[in-house]
Structure formats: C-alpha cells, structure tokens
Structure 1
Amino acid sequence: MNEQLKNDLTHLDSLLEAVKLQGLGFLEKISDRPTSVTASFPSDGTLNEIGLGGLTTLEAFNNRFEKLLVASAGPRYWGFVIGGATPAAIAGDWLTTIYDQNTQATQGQGDLSAVIEMETIKLLLDLFDLPRDFIGGFVTGATMSNFTCLAVARQWLGKQLGKDFAKDGLTERINILTATPHSSTLKSLAMLGIGSNNLDKVKVMEGNRESIDIENLDLRIKALNGQPFILITSGGTVNTVDFDDFHAISKLKKKYNFWWHIDGAFGAFATCSSKHKQLMSGWENADSIAIDCHKWLNVPYDSAIFLVKEQYKILQLETFQNSNAPYLGDPMENFSYMNFLPENSRRLRALPVWFSLRAYGKKGYQEIVENSIEMANYFGRFIENNQAFELLALVRLNTVCFTLSGDENQEKVAAFLTNLNGTGKVFMTPTLYNNKKGIRAAFVNWRTTVADIELVTAEMSKLIKT
C-alpha cells in the first residue's frame, strides 16, 4: 500500500476530526461569512510526486482556497434559490460519502441501497400529499429532473405517432406548449434534440402575471387539430413565483391528448403550508413533475427528484434502459434505477433527504416554508415603503422581484447590485422582468431571520444614499 495512503488510514480519526472541527467552525460562524468574494487565485497545475498526505493537503487547501468559499448555505444568500443544509441533512450527507454506494437495485445481491431511495420517495410523496402512483428517483438538480421527465414525454409523444424515438431518433416535430419556462427546461429541450426554440408560447394572464392564460391555451390546443403535444407548466415561476391553474389544466386533460409536465422546482413546497397549498391544487393529475431538494428542502447540493406516473413505466424503461439490462416481464419486479433515469453511476442522494425528513417531519418543513414566506413579505414591505425602490411584482410566495424607482435609474441597477453584493453581507441576482432591469431575492434558507432582513435593508439604505 502507498505510504501516504497507509499513513492516512492509520490516522483516519485525526484527519476526520480535523475536518469535523473545521466544518463546525464554518457552520458556527456562517452568518459572519462573506456572501461574495473578489480575490483571484492563481492556478497551480503541478502535481506533487509523492503526495502531501491528508492533513497536509487540508492545510494546503486552507492556505489557498478556504477563503474563496462563500456563505451560500447561510441566511443572507438570496441568489439562485439556494437553501442551506439542515443538521440532519449534513449527517446524512457525510454518511452518504462514507458508505459510498452506487444506488441502483432494490433486490438481489450486492448494493441494495435503492431501498432507501424508494422509501425516501414515498416520504416525499407524503410530504407533498401526492398519490402513490408516481415512480420517483433522485438526480442532480432541476435541469436533470426536467430532462428525465421530458425524455419520457418525448417517448410518449412518439408512441402516439407510431414511432420509437428512443431507438430510432426524432423523426417528427414535437409540439411544445408553454408560457414561462425556466432556463433549465429550455436546456433540457436542447439536450433532448427537441430544440430550445421549438416552443409555442401561450399568452400569460393579464395583470402583471407569468401564468398561462387558460383561454388562449385552449385556442392553441384546438389549432393543433388533434395532434399530440407536451404541455410544460410552472409550479412557481422563477421571478415572481406565479402558478399555473392546475385545476383548469386538469379539465383540459380530460378533453385533449397531451403530456402534462409541471416544473415545481421550489414552488412545490407551497404544499407544506396549509396557508398556501392551494397554489398547487390539482397537480396530482400531471404526468410528470420536477422538484429540487437542494432548494427549499434544505439539503446539500446536488439533489432533486423526478416524478413520473407509474402507468408510463414501460415508456420510461424504453427511454433509459441500460443496453446490458434486457427487459423481461414487469420492470418493477426486478427494479433498477439504471433503467429508469439517465445515470448508470450515482451516489445515494436520497440519504440526506431521508435524514432531514425523518428528523423534522411535516411540522418542521411547514415551519421552514412559512418562515421563508414571512421573511419574503417582510423584505417586500421594506421595498414597498421605501421611495428609492419599487416592486416589479407582488410578493406571491418566497421571492421578491424589485428595482430602483424611476426609469431614469434603470442604468444604475446593475451598479447598485454589484455594490450591494460587494459588501459581503448579502447576495442577490439580477433579472429582467417586463423589460425592466431588476433584482431578485429568494428566501428558502432555514436560518434566515428578521435580524438578517434588517441587516441587509440597512446596507441597502446606506448604498442608496451614496
């Protein structure tokens, strides 16, 4: 055995203890950690011949890179809809690394950790109050979740035309109807060969909305003259967290032949709150759903789930079947995730989710979700009551979309955001909404409190005066 490797194995307790203490130190001071850094680090591409060993490598990391890492898991990182990691999720994630499973099978010999994933999907269906007629699994994020769902939708549409797109490739145009798709959906369409521009944009509702105008959708469907199509809807748009009318779409589903996909990346968690669950009412009738876990579920990156109705399991198998795994009989009897999603190699992403769900239950996630919404509204009231700023849309759930007041200040928005993020006290992202340059603050982190909002608004008030 290599001497450095042998020494690290012998002193593994010391190495892991050092990492534990460093991790605890980071988490204890995460509120003081900068949310943005500007320092540059020259790259060193020369590899040491004999290696440094674990502890010396940890020291080298701390000397070179540790200060580069920002508090993206902290209470004032409001960009990109990033959650933190709950204590139980951290425990589950550490064990995921230690056990190092390649999660695929639920029975047979060898690694059977997919049993844990199956149970975790059931826990999530219970959390979201969804029926058990969905097949679910873990992927890296919303992009791969949308990709997985839309890949099955592509196969479904092909079968409506008597084609097998998975085996023979795309030979027909695929009709896509949508109103306000997320960029991850467009990327998925590109990767699937459908085309990111291959969209028939449906009108949005009037009154500063991003949701589908149902009457216009009905007209667009009729114009297809019975052709099958894929409908992509939003369970919370990225800028204003607007929701499509799932009840109305459920009625259309009974009249027309289409695949209904919901991108519920973070908006799906509205169902955790009795005050807001009606926003997702009717979503159980969809054919597929994409949900991010490293957002509002507050587990470490990378973690998301896809949900596809079990009635389409054969289409899912046809889409993702591994070439060395011949299909015989019912695919659920000898289940392997290798045949139901894109990856042949995958870590046990379910374990941090399992830990966090078991640790905090429905009540815990209700409180996380409702606190985030309360914080968004608190921040929104500051924007609404400050003459220097204006809301670009109502605060519908957990995101605040705003800008500087006055058209004459539009060219100052980018500089203001750069300076605000430059304080290291908060991080928000730029956006464009209704042809106005804006700023978006998304609240999903379980740590965020009123004190964090007040700290940020104080910084904003200082900057606006300079």
Structure 2
Amino acid sequence: MNHFLKEDLTNLEGLLEKIKEQGISYLDNLSERATYSDHQLPEEILSVKEGKGSEETFKIFNERLEPLMVASSGPRYWGFVTGGTTPASIMGDWLTSIYDQNTQALKGVGDISGQIEIETIKMLLDFFELPQDYIGGFVSGATMSNFTCLAVARQWIGKNLGKDFAKDGITEKINVLSAMPHSSSIKSLSMLGIGSNNITKIKVAEGNRECLDTVDLEEKIKELNGEPFILISSAGTVNTVDFDDFQAISKLKNKYNFWWHIDAAFGAFAKCSDEHKHLLKDWENADSITIDNHKWMNVPYENAVFLIKEKHKLEQIETFQNSSAPYLGDPMEKFSCLNFLPENSRRLKALPVWFSMIAYGKDGFKEMIEKSISLSQYFGKLIENDNNFEILAPVRLNTVCFTLKDQTSEQVLEFLERLNQTKKVFLTPTIYKGKQAIRAALVNWRTESSDVELVFNLMQELLRK
C-alpha cells in the first residue's frame, strides 16, 4: 500500500475531524462570508507526480482553493435560483459519500440501494400530492431531468408514427410547442437531436404575463391536423414565476394527442403553500414533470428528479435500457434504475432528500416556502415604494424582477456590478419585456427579514454615491 494512503488510513478519524471543524465554521459564518470572490488561481499547475498526503493537501486547498469559495449556500445569494443546505440534507449527503453506493438494483446479492431511491420517490409523490402512477429517478439537475423526460417523449412520438427512434434514429419531424421554455429544455432538445430551433412558439397571455395563451395553443394544435406533438409548459418561469394554465391544458389533453411535459424545477414547491397550491391544479395529468430539489428543498447540489407516467414505461425502457449488457438481465423482468434513466453510474442522490423529508416533514417545508414567499413580497414592496426603482412584474412567488427608473441598460448593469462587488449579496441580470432588469430569487432557508433590509439599504446607499 502506498505510504501516504496507509498514513491516511491510520489517521482517518483525525482527517475527517479537521474537515468537520472547518465545515461547521463555514456554516456558522455564512451570513458574514462574501458572496463574491476576486481571488484568482496562480497560473502554474500543481505537480501530481508525487503525492503529498491528505493532511498536506488540505493545507494546500486552504491556501489555493478555499478563497474561491463564496457563500452560495448563504442567506443573500439571490442569483439564479440557488437553495442552501439544511442540516438534515448535509447529514444525508455526508452519508451518501461515506456509504458510496452505486444506485441501480432493488434486490439481488450486490448493491440494492435502489430501494431507497424508490421509497424516496414515493415519498416525494405524496409530498407533492401527486398520484403514485409515476416512475421517478434522481439526476443531477433540471437539465438532465428535462432531458430524461423529453427523451421518453421523443420515443413516444416515434411510436405514434410507427417508428422506433431509440433504435433507428429520428426519421420524422417532431413537433414541439412551448411559450417560454427554460434554456435547459432548449439544450435538451439540441442534445436529443430534436433541434433547439424546432419549437413552435405559443403566444404569451395578454397583460404582464409570461404564461402561454391557451387560445393560441389550441389554434397551433389544430394546425398540426392531428399530428402528435410535445408540449413543454412552465410551473414557474424564471423571470416572474408565472404558471401556465394547467386546468385548461388538461382539458386540451382530453381532446388532442400530445405528450405534456411540465418544467416545475422550483415552482413545484408552490404545492406546500395553501395560498399558492392552486397554481398546480390538474398538474397530475402531465405525462412528465421536472423538479429540482437543490433549489427550494435546500439539499446540496446535484439533486433533481424526473417523474414519468408509469404507462410510458415501455418507451422509457426502450430509450434507456442497456440492451448490449447480458449480465444485467432482462430489463422487463429485473428492474434496475439504470434501464430507466441516462446514467449507469450514480451516487445515492436520494438520501439527502429522504433525510430532509423525514426530518422536517411537509409542515416544516410549508413554513420554509411560505417564509421565502413572504420575504420576496417584502422585498418587492420596498422596491415598489422607492422612486429609484421600478417593479416590472407582480411578485407571484419567490422572485422579484425590477430595474432602475429612467436609467439605460448600461447604467442598470453597472449598478448591479457595484452591488455584487460589495460581496454582501449576489443578484443576476435578465431581460424582461425588452428591458434590462435585475432578478432576486429567494429560496434559501436561512434568509431573514434582516437580510432583505440589509440588501435594500445597501442598494439605496449605492445610489447615493
């Protein structure tokens, strides 16, 4: 055995204790840690010819890499839609690394941690008040969840046309309809060979909305003359968290033949709020759903799930089965997760979610989600009541979309850059209805009203300078 490896094995408890102490220090000081880093790595590449041992490597990490780490899991990291990490989720994630399971099978003589994944999916379905007729799985994020769902939708389209796209390739045009698809869905269409430009755009509803116009949707459907198609709908658009009308879409699904996919990356958690759960009414009729756990569930990256109706399991297996590996057995007789999703090798991503749901329950998440919504509305009101700013859309859930009044795009971006460079908050730019805008997405369980007030006061201070 390599002498460094032998030394590490002997000192394993001490090494992990050092990691634990530093980790707790990081978490205890998240509110004070910078949200922005101007640290740059030295240009020279470290030599890896001879090892240095883990203790020395940890010292090098702290000198070279640790200064790059920002408070992305902290209470004022409001860029993109970035959740934090609850104590229970960290416990589950640490144990995931320690037990190091490769989640595939449900039974047999080897790793059977697939049982944990299946149990967690069933718990998630109950959590989101969805029927137990979905097959789900854990993937790295919304991109891979959308990819997985749309891959099965592609095979379903082929079957409707008498083709097997999974085996023979795409030989027919695949019709895709959507109003405001997320960039990860567009990327998925590209990776699947369907085409990122191959989208028939549906008009958005009139007024200050981002949801699709259901009248225009039906008109576009009629123009297809009965051809099957894929509809990508939104449960929370990125700029204003607008929801498509799932009740209307559900009625259309009874009239026309299409695959209905919902991107509910973070909007799914509206189901935890009594005031907002109606936004998801009839979503259980969708063929597939994307949900990102590392957003509003506040579990560590990389963690998302896909949900696909069990009635499509044949198309799902045809898309993902390892047909050239005889040692894996018949996928129709011996269930294995790897025959239902893209990756053959995965860590036990379900465990942080399992820990979180058991630890806090739906009541705990209800409190967390409603707190985020309330803080977003509070931030929105502060901005709305200040003559220097303009709210561009209603605060529908957890995102505030705003800009500076009577300022050019360049001035808005310059203000945002100065705000981020304070290292006390991180926000991201966007374009809304042709205007340069700023987005604040609040989904972190640690965020308090004092954080909202700190950020708003900081914004006012910057404007005075």
TM-score normalised to the size of structure 1? 0.98
For residues 308-334 of structure 1, the C-alpha deviation after alignment (integer angstroms, 9 at most, x for no partner) is 000000000000001335698773x52
Deviation digits for residues 66-111 of structure 1, max 9, x if unmatched?
Answer: 1110000000000110100100000000000011111001011100
Q: How does 1:94-173 map to 2 (within 5 A)?
A: 94-173=94-173
Which moves more between the two structures, 146-155 or 333-342?
333-342
Within 5 A, what are the aligned runs for 1:178-217? 178-217=178-217
2-structure distance, mates of 1:422, 1:451 = 20
What residue number does 1:308 align with?
308
Distance 1:42 1:143 in 2: 32
Residue identity matched to 2:47: L
Cross-structure match for 2:68: 68
2:89 alignment partner in structure 1: 89
How far does residue 275 in structure 1 lie from its aligned partner after superposition? 1.3
Gaps of 5+ in 1: none
1: CA distance between counterparts of 2:60 and 2:261?
A: 47
- AA in 2 matched with 1:364: G
Any conservation in 2 of the 1:102–1:346 contact (CA below 8 Å)? yes
Residue aligning to 2:437? 438
Q: Tell me, in whole angstroms, the C-alpha distance in 2 between the residues paired with 1:328 and 1:24.
A: 45
Assess if the C-alpha contact under 8 Å between 1:100 and 1:348 holds in 2: yes
On the 8 A contact 2:430/2:437 being kept in 1, the answer is yes
Post-superposition offset of 1:159:
0.5
Residue in structure 2 matched with residue 422 of structure 1 by the alignment: 421
Superposition deviation, residue 372 in structure 1: 0.5
CA distance in structure 2 between the aligned counterparts of 1:194 and 1:248, rounded to whole angstroms? 26
AA of the residue aligned to 1:450: S
- State the distance in 2 between where 1:76 and 1:172 align: 48
Name 1:6's counterpart in structure 2.
6
Residue identity matched to 1:170: I
The equivalent residue for 2:455 is 456
Percent identical among aligned pairs is 64
Q: What CA distance in whole angstroms lies between the structure 2 residues aligned with 1:389 and 1:276?
A: 27
Q: Is this contact kept in 1: 2:234–2:242, CA < 8 A?
A: yes
Offset at 1:208?
A: 1.1
Equivalence for 1:318: 318
Secondary structure, aligned partner of 2:408: helix
| Cα distance in 2, alignment partners of residues 464 and 162 from structure 1 | 62
Q: Secondary structure at the match of 1:31?
A: coil
Residues 1:169 and 1:425: Cα distance change in structure 2 (over 3 Å) = same
SS of structure 2 residue aligned to 1:210: coil
Alpha-carbon distance between aligned partners in 1 of 2:136 and 2:86, rounded to the nearest angstrom: 23
Letter in 2 for 1:440: R
- Give the Cα separation in 2 of the matches to 1:334 and 1:93: 28
**Counterparts of 2:426 and 2:179, CA distance in 1:** 28
**Is the CA contact (8 Å cut-off) linking 2:331 and 2:339 kept in structure 1?**
no
Corresponding residue number in structure 2 for 1:283: 283
Amino acid at match of 1:446: W
Cα deviation, residue 44, structure 1: 3.5
Question: For the structure 1 residues 340 and 465, does the alpha-carbon distance in structure 2 shift closer, same or farther, using more than 3 Å as the test?
Answer: same
The secondary structure found in structure 2 opposite 1:233 is strand
Name the aligned partner's letter for residue 91 of structure 1: M
The equivalent of 1:295 in structure 2 is: 295
Say which SS state the counterpart of residue 110 (structure 1) adopts.
coil
| Residue-pair matches, total | 464
Q: Secondary structure at the match of 1:454?
A: helix
CA distance in 2, matches of 1:288, 1:43: 46
> In the TM superposition, what whole-angstrom CA distance separates every residue of 1:253-283 from its partner, at most 9, and x where no partner exists?
0000000000000000000111110011110
Q: How does 1:233-252 map to 2 (within 5 A)?
A: 233-252=233-252
- Separation in structure 2 between the aligned mates of residue 330 and residue 284 of structure 1, nearest angstrom: 27
Distance 1:54 1:222 in 2: 64
Return the alpha-carbon distance in structure 2 between the equivalents of residues 328 and 225 of structure 1: 42
Matches of 2:56 and 2:375 in 1, distance apart? Answer: 42
Deviation per CA, 1:13-44: give whole Å up to 9, x if none.
00000000000000000000000111211144
Question: In structure 2, the residue corresponding to 1:390 is in which secondary structure?
Answer: strand
Q: Determine the structure 2 residue equivalent to 1:465.
A: 464
Contact 1:404 1:410 in 2 (8 A): no
Superposition pairs of residues 309-458 of structure 1, within 5 angstroms? 309-325=309-325, 331=332, 333-406=333-406, 408-458=407-457
Task: State the shift of 1:410 in Å.
Answer: 3.0
CA apart distance, 1:55: 1.1
Task: Write out the 4+ residue segments of structure 1 that deviate beyond 3 Å after TM superposition.
Answer: 324-330
- Provide the C-alpha distance between the structure 2 equivalents of 1:409 and 1:155, rounded to a whole number of angstroms: 47
**Structure 1 residue 223: Cα displacement:** 0.6
Which amino acid is 2:281 matched to? S
CA shift digits 1:161-215 (9 cap, x unpaired): 0000000001011000000000000000000000000000001100111101011
Q: Secondary structure at the match of 2:438?
A: strand
